[in-house]
Amino acid sequence: MIAGQRAWPSLGGEADCFRLAFTVFSDTQSTVSEFLACRVTQHHGLQLLQLCEKGNVRIEGEIVPAMHSVRKGQKVTLDLPNHYEDPVNTNWHMIWQNDEIMKVYKPPLLPVSRTTRNLYHTLISLIRRETPYGEAQLLHRMDTETSGELLIAKHSSADKKWKKQLDRLIVKKRYHAWVEGVPAWDSMTLECLLSEKEGSLIRSQMYVVDPDAVALYRKPKFSKTAFSVLQRLDGRSLIACDLFTGRKHQIRAHLAHLGHPIVGDKIYSLGGKYYLKRLCASLTAEDYAALGAEHHLLEAVALELDEALLLRKDDLEEATVTSSRVQKGLP
């Protein structure tokens, strides 16, 4: 499903509205205005009473006043006048979960968190609206155009617990990338320093550090990726990419440095021409044809976790709590 710059007429037909849909998962008694107040921005929260008066709040399709109670299982919709967001693919789904974390699939072009163009149609906002986990947190990030597997903490305590253990928890990250050209090698590993560069036209672009011009680079960091060719087809190749470090744009910058930028990559292919153009104007169908795709073709296909650590961690915490209670003379 593509959602975003979609409009629904308000009750009086005065303005187009952006619709947000929520599911009530809690048994806690609250009014619909209380329910929505903690799920929208402060700006929209201050407008809730007015929006209710104008008929922009509904439960199961029926207009309701601000003091109407919500019940578990109900569907609540809120229409925001004159609010627009970029169209996005909202078809995220759950892959795996336990009591504290979940592995989800993020579709391409869905930002993981707020951007200047999207406040509500983001992965984390959708998860908070569509699941019981209203305090869900991202355990790590992913570029908007990249698709694939991502870890989410279900609540703030799980986020605090696992974020500091993330390097141990994730034992393997594998991506698949369609790239331009046909590598002369079947497999190879690239180890280098990566950094942003002084004077770069694209501030966020990462570069493999030139040892003869180190002064031009900001805070170089070690990076390592293993590549293997899975398929060669019509001047393009499908590459498996195994990450050993997690630097910004690591796979994209590494492959571009090797002469095989990812298909559709606006920063690392064609000299960043279309990234720079998009800052001033929308890209055309011809532009996307030149890029080869509307988004870069990079997907996180395998995110393997240390199952023993998931189990052992709970045991260690229980032992720590028990020890602490004994030391304090508690039962």
Average pLDDT, the chain: 90
Q: Is 56's pLDDT higher than 80? A: yes
Bridge partners (DSSP) listed for residue 237: 179, 232
What would the pLDDT profile of 228-255 be if each residue is shown by its tens digit? 999 999 999 999 999 999 999 999 999 9
Residues 6+ apart with CB under 8 A from 298: 143, 145, 146, 147, 175, 176, 177, 251, 252, 262, 265
Q: Which long-range contacts (CB under 8 A, 24 or more apart) does 113-116 make?
A: 113/138, 113/141, 115/144
Residue whose entry in the numeric block shows the structure tokens 């998962």 = 25
Alpha-carbon distance 328 to 331, whole Å? 9
pLDDT of res. 6:
45
Confidence of residue 311 (pLDDT cuts 50, 70, 90): confident
Secondary structure (DSSP) of 156-174? HHHHHHHHTTHHHHEEEEE
Across 210-230, average pLDDT? 95
pLDDT band for position 130 (cuts 50, 70, 90): very high
Q: Considering the entire predicted model, what is its pTM?
A: 0.85
Domains and CATH numbers, the chain: 2-81 (3.10.290.10), 88-164 (3.30.2350.10), 174-301 (3.30.2350.10)
Query: Rounded CA gap, 93 and 123, in Å?
Result: 10
Mean pLDDT confidence for 75-98 = 94
- Chain segment 174-200, per-residue pLDDT in tens: 999 999 999 999 999 999 999 999 999
Q: Is the pLDDT of residue 318 over 50?
A: no
pLDDT for residue 156: 95
pLDDT of residue 155: 96
The per-residue pLDDT for 94 is 97
CB 297 within 8 A of CB 178: yes
Which of 8-12, 219-223, 276-280 shows the lowest per-residue confidence on average (mean pLDDT)? 8-12
The Cα 103–Cα 94 span in angstroms is 6
